[in-house]
Amino acid sequence: MHRRSFLGSAAALSAAFSSNALLQAKDAVAKVSDRPADSVARDEDFWFNVRHAFTVDRNMINLNNGGVSPAPKIVMDTEIRYLEIENLNPSYYMWNVLDPGIETVRRRLAETFGCDTEEVAITRNASEALENVQMGMSLKAGDEVVTTNQDYGRMITTWQQRERRDGIVLKQVKFQVPPPSMEYLQKQIEAAITPKTKVIHICHITNRTGQIFPVKSICQMARARGIETVVDGAHAFAQFPFKQEDLDCDYYGTSLHKWVLAPIGTGMLYVRKSKIGSIYPLMAAPPEMKDNIRKFEEIGTHPASQRNAITEALDFHDSIGPERKAERFRYLRRRWSNQLRELPGVKILNSDDPEQSCAIGFISIANIDSHKLAEYLWAKHRIWTVAITTPGEYDGLRITPNVYTTLEEVDTFINVMTKVIKNGSIPT
């Protein structure tokens, strides 16, 4: 093929995979670029363009985006394109053509997080990212790890395995839901510290009630005492804007298939550069990689198509704007929670303080089993939610809309819930 013909074909291929929906979204952004984010949050014309970048099932109402979110069509198209390319001759195209693209992904993630490129590893999810740190730390019998009883179950299980294997001590702090202040949360963590405390492990934002923690103040308090800080950012990254300097943590793990809207099975691990050498990766790497962040990616053969499409997801995230996303999330959360909180027996267990909450909301209803309620919402109204119970503390539904969620969908949820609450029981 002549060079000119090749370039023409490449351009046509690129155009074929471009998304009119994404162009519409970018055009919509240009029209609101000079408006405050909280004003754009209520602009349904703007979000109409964003919604049409997705190919979600509109015959169900998905209010569990906190589990896994769908990716925009352009991200899916990109992933499929890479998958088709690597399948042409996997051992050649994967390792020679596609694998080098991970360095662009690394650079873009580092820019978004606000850290050095050599501090970012691409993983499959937040659990893999965090377990690299949890299992790779040098801890001995009697060393204490402070976390909360509302941190993610898999991360608690990981520390408990180290308790059994190594004799470390895990201390789980309880806290009021919602808490009275950010300062209260820091004091609860600080009160659990002893001379044996080596690690503080906290959520940036909890997966349960969506409580945002005062990460920076806790991390700086810990560092002054020689304690390392591990932050679970599975739900935080791209849900609301922040940089690493706003956290000042030693380690940070997140999933990219939640609020970044990247392909399912993608995540990120941040390790402060000075700490890389002291952490053993989950899967063995050669000694010459001791100080190389890429040692945490030594997992064997894996699909380049998923991780290479992360860049397209970051482009989509940037095209909307982090502040606009966060304000839209808060607007949608308040739309349903403000109407339901005044009804009898209702408790909204997330803070309404914008510094302490964003997309995730939590509703508890007296004398109504949340798991049965979730089953009813799905079976009778095609509303998809998740029930969460913390034994002896609270029980309810976690509600997480996303940028493609319509006001009609939120209002349908409000109307159904209002009838259930006023009825005092789940209809049969």
Question: Where would I find the H helices in 266-392?
Answer: 304-308, 310-320, 322-340, 370-381
> What does the block give as tokens for 224?
């002054």
pLDDT value of position 125: 97
pLDDT digits (tens, 9 = 90+) for 327-364: 999 999 999 999 999 999 999 999 999 999 999 999 99
Q: How many Cβ atoms are within 10 Å of 320's Cβ, its own excluded? A: 24
Q: Cα 56 vs. chain centroid, distance in angstroms?
A: 19
As a whole number of angstroms, the distance between CA 317 and CA 427 comes to: 40
The residue to which tokens 């943590």 are assigned: 249
Respond yes or no on whether the N-terminal peptide bond of residue 178 is cis (omega within 30° of 0): yes
* H helices, E strands: number in the chain: 16, 13
- For residues 151 and 205, give the distance between their C-alpha atoms in angstroms, rounded to a whole number: 9
Top-confidence residue, 336 or 38: 336
Write down the residue that tokens 């894996």 correspond to. Answer: 302
pLDDT tens digits for range 73-120: 999 999 999 999 999 999 999 999 999 999 999 999 999 999 999 999
What's the length of the chain? 428
Q: Are the C-beta atoms of residues 137 and 276 closer than 8 Å to each other? A: no
Domains of the chain: 93-314 (3.40.640.10), 323-423 (3.90.1150.10)
Residue 300, token pair as written in the block: 């064997």
pLDDT band at residue 30, thresholds of 50, 70 and 90?
confident
Instruction: Determine the Cα–Cα distance for residues 101 and 183; give it in Å rounded to an integer.
Output: 43
Q: How confident is the model at residue 4 (pLDDT cuts 50, 70, 90)?
A: very low
Coil, strand, or helix at residue 86?
A: helix
- Residue 161 DSSP SS3: helix
Question: Could you tell me the CA-to-CA distances from 57 to 140, 216, 293, 304 in Å, in that order?
Answer: 50, 39, 39, 27
d(CA 413, CA 383) in angstroms, rounded, equals 7
Give the list of residues 6+ apart from residue 163 with CB closer than 8 angstroms, or none. 169, 170
Residue 26's pLDDT band, with cuts at 50, 70 and 90, is low
Mean pLDDT of the chain: 93
Strand duo 197-203 + 228-232: pairing: parallel
pLDDT band at 236 (very low <50, low <70, confident <90, very high): very high
What pLDDT is stored for residue 141 in this prediction? 98
Q: Which of 224, 211, 221, 174 is nearest to 356 (CA)?
A: 211
Spacing of C-alpha 189 from chain mean position: 23
Residues 232-250, mean pLDDT to the nearest whole number = 98
Tracing tokens 């093929």 back to the chain, one arrives at 1
Beta bridge partners of 387: 397
CA 108 to chain centroid, in Å, comes to 17
**pLDDT of 98:** 93
The H or E element containing residue 388 is strand 386-390
pTM (2 d.p.): 0.92
